[in-house]
Structure 1
Amino acid sequence: MRTTDLSELAAFDAVARHRSFRRAGEERGVTASAVSHAVSNLEARVGIRLLNRTTRSVSLTDAGAMLLARVSPAFGDIGLAMDGLNQFRDTPFGKVRINAPSSIAPFVLGPFLGAVIKANPRLELEIVTTDRLVDIVEEGFDAGIRLGESLRDGMTAVKINPRLRFAVVGAPAYFTRRPIPRIPADLQGHVCLQNLYPSGVRYPWEFTKDGRTVEFQPTGPVSSDDHDLLLRAALDGVGLAYVWEDRAEAHVRDGRLIRCLDSWCAPEDWLYLYYPTRKYISAGLRAVIEAMRA
């Protein structure tokens, strides 16, 4: 088979897995139109429509589903074989795609980026941040970062630094009207901003001390899944915010925010860098793991 045929099959495989020309193009490092052109060439060559396309969706025809079932495992084996070559290479190089939560990415990845790139000048890191749960295999990532509680089966997980904590903060102007809370129960008398998951579900503020865990569900006038917005509202005196302590640290240090209930804010569960168990570890990914390992 010609190289062009393999390229067209690879483009079809990517579109079929992602159900998206755009995401297939991102995975392959080309434009969506280039992927579409490759798939159209393949369909013209075999004389059968493989994909149904509309302006909003992509789906497989019966013929396309049969082809995907045969070629996808083959491309998986090719990928494993190429990954396996990295064990013979001493110097990490190439691209490593990492997915990380937007809310913590600057504090988790920021401190190590400069050092790992300086130590591995042929390495390229592509970091995509989002707080939604991502299937790293389906979306073409080499690894992801999550709290241990949200890891899925079939993944190898490596504990990484740092271990983060939440902080409850409010502006000095806010505390001219209300006393600083000393225990979680005191929050009942305060305006507390609400935290959302990307799905829109509200999650409680959680506190732990002396083996006792307490949850408090805010009912304040502002709710968001963006910690920067919640922090901005707290700085403006709207109410108390529950955010990652690293995000609030500079404002606490310069006196623009006051931290409360510090002794009740225990470290969160460990963060993990995770990747598919069945995949060989490339030299590049191994360099990232060693740089971040706790």
Structure 2
Amino acid sequence: MKQNYTVRQGALEGVETFLAIARSLSFRRAAAELGVTPSAVSQAVRGLEARLGAALFTRTTRSVGLTEAGQRFLDRAGPAFAELVAAGEVVRDLGRRPTGLLRLSVPRGVVPLLLEPVIASFARAYPEVELEIVASEEMVDLAAGGFDAGMRFGQFIAPDMVAVRLTPPLPFLVVASPDYLARHGRPRGVDDLRGHACLRLRRSNGAIAHWTFVDGGETVEAAVSGPLIAHDYPTLIGAAIQGAGLAQVPGPLARKAITEGKLESVLDDLVVTTPGVFLYHPGKRQMTPKLRAFIDHIKSAP
């Protein structure tokens, strides 16, 4: 059976005053410690005793002592209040400097492109931050998933997010292995793609992405077909390297394979440019020091 747990309004009122008196066994010294008047201390204790229904102190003109109820309350409330104070310090610390767990949701293709080059340097620069990278193609709910931020290609970011540019606009290249091109020939135009094995991407919303080109200043979309549908760009690039067909992928992800001669680009005169990679988060008011430090670090990386 589900139980309801509530904290009465003002339940903690007077507890700090009680603990200050219990430490010094003096209303006057407690008032000085708290920076209030002795009458304010007395009033706070009377209110606390009224809510608890028991006297907490025995008082004479010469001394102050704890009642049995007061001692029991001190034994339980003292450690609990110390934990509350410590919890507040932890929260304030998170708001003052880069520390704690930083969770990011990123597509697999962004990891080698942007994260691998900066992980080590960020860890050295901010040793009190734990960086957790969750590689997923899904457009996750940041709040529900417990993420500080996400990274995505710009055209896939929800309009209610604050987006921070991490890369310039990126060309999307059509690539294939030299072996594939030797066997099937090089396409010369969009219409030639009908005779080729085209490796396709399924987006997080379930739709298969069309291939996009710029021809004569106009954007052209092509519904291609082929033997493989993948959910991320690294898988498409790997299949293209193995000769499975043509793939349209972000240029920076294919650059290494092109340099090494494992892939060649085709249809270069029709290349489309996309917005680039952005980091996104819910809003400026929720920008923590650890996230700000990460953004500044990755943007300043060579």
Shorter-chain TM-score tier: 0.5 to 0.7
Q: Deviations over 1:134-192 (max 9, x none)?
A: 00011111111123333335432222125433221112222223331233232223221
1:178 paired residue number? 184
2:117 paired residue number? 111
**Match of 2:100, as an amino acid?**
G
SS at match of 1:202: coil
Is structure 2 residue 226 aligned with structure 1 residue 220? yes
SS at match of 1:203: coil
Cα drift, residue 266 of structure 1: 3.0
**Match of 2:118, as an amino acid?**
F
2:287 paired residue number? 281
CA RMSD, Structure 1 to Structure 2 (Å): 2.9
Cα distance 1:166–1:80, how it changes in 2: closer, same or farther (>3 A)? farther
1:100 paired residue number? 106
Is structure 2 residue 161 aligned with structure 1 residue 155? yes
Contact kept in structure 2, 1:194 and 1:223, CA below 8 Å: yes
Q: Within 5 Å, give how 1:41-190 maps onto structure 2.
A: 48-49=1-2, 86=94, 88-89=96-97, 92-161=98-167, 163-190=169-196
Cα distance 1:153–1:194, how it changes in 2: closer, same or farther (>3 A)? closer
Is structure 2 residue 198 aligned with structure 1 residue 192? yes
**Match of 1:189, as an amino acid?**
G
Cα distance 1:180–1:268, how it changes in 2: closer, same or farther (>3 A)? same
**Match of 2:165, as an amino acid?**
K
| Percent identity for Structure 1 against Structure 2 | 33
Cα distance 1:283–1:134, how it changes in 2: closer, same or farther (>3 A)? same
Cα distance 1:258–1:280, how it changes in 2: closer, same or farther (>3 A)? closer
Cα distance 1:82–1:277, how it changes in 2: closer, same or farther (>3 A)? farther
**Match of 2:130, as an amino acid?**
E
2:264 paired residue number? 258
Q: Distance in 2 between matches of 1:130 and 1:80?
A: 34
SS at match of 1:126: strand
SS at match of 2:186: coil
Cα drift, residue 199 of structure 1: 4.7
Q: Distance in 1 between matches of 2:155 and 2:233?
A: 21
Q: Distance in 2 between matches of 1:282 and 1:220?
A: 45
SS at match of 1:165: strand
Contact kept in structure 1, 2:194 and 2:225, CA below 8 Å: no
Aligned residue pairs, count: 220
**Match of 2:275, as an amino acid?**
D
TM-score, normalised relative to structure 2 = 0.63
SS at match of 2:274: coil
Is structure 2 residue 297 aligned with structure 1 residue 291? yes
Contact kept in structure 1, 2:107 and 2:232, CA below 8 Å: no
Moved more, 152-161 or 96-105: 152-161
Higher Cα radius of gyration? 2
Q: Deviations over 1:46-92 (max 9, x none)?
A: xx426xxxxxxxxxxxx69xx8xxxxxxxxxxx99976655544xx2
Contact kept in structure 2, 1:80 and 1:280, CA below 8 Å: no
Cα distance 1:182–1:199, how it changes in 2: closer, same or farther (>3 A)? same
SS at match of 1:111: coil
Q: Distance in 2 between matches of 1:142 and 1:176?
A: 47
TM-score, normalised relative to structure 1 = 0.65
Q: Distance in 1 between matches of 2:158 and 2:88?
A: 21
1:242 paired residue number? 248
Contact kept in structure 2, 1:103 and 1:131, CA below 8 Å: no
**Match of 1:119, as an amino acid?**
A
Cα drift, residue 131 of structure 1: 0.2
Q: Distance in 2 between matches of 1:106 and 1:164?
A: 15
1:206 to 205, 209, 212: 212
**Match of 1:140, as an amino acid?**
G
**Match of 1:156, as an amino acid?**
V
Contact kept in structure 2, 1:100 and 1:131, CA below 8 Å: yes
**Match of 1:108, as an amino acid?**
L
SS at match of 1:102: coil
2:236 to 214, 230, 236: 230
Q: Where do 5+ consecutive residues of structure 1 fail to align?
A: 1-47, 51-62, 68-78
Cα drift, residue 233 of structure 1: 2.9
Q: Distance in 2 between matches of 1:272 and 1:81?
A: 33
**Match of 1:113, as an amino acid?**
I
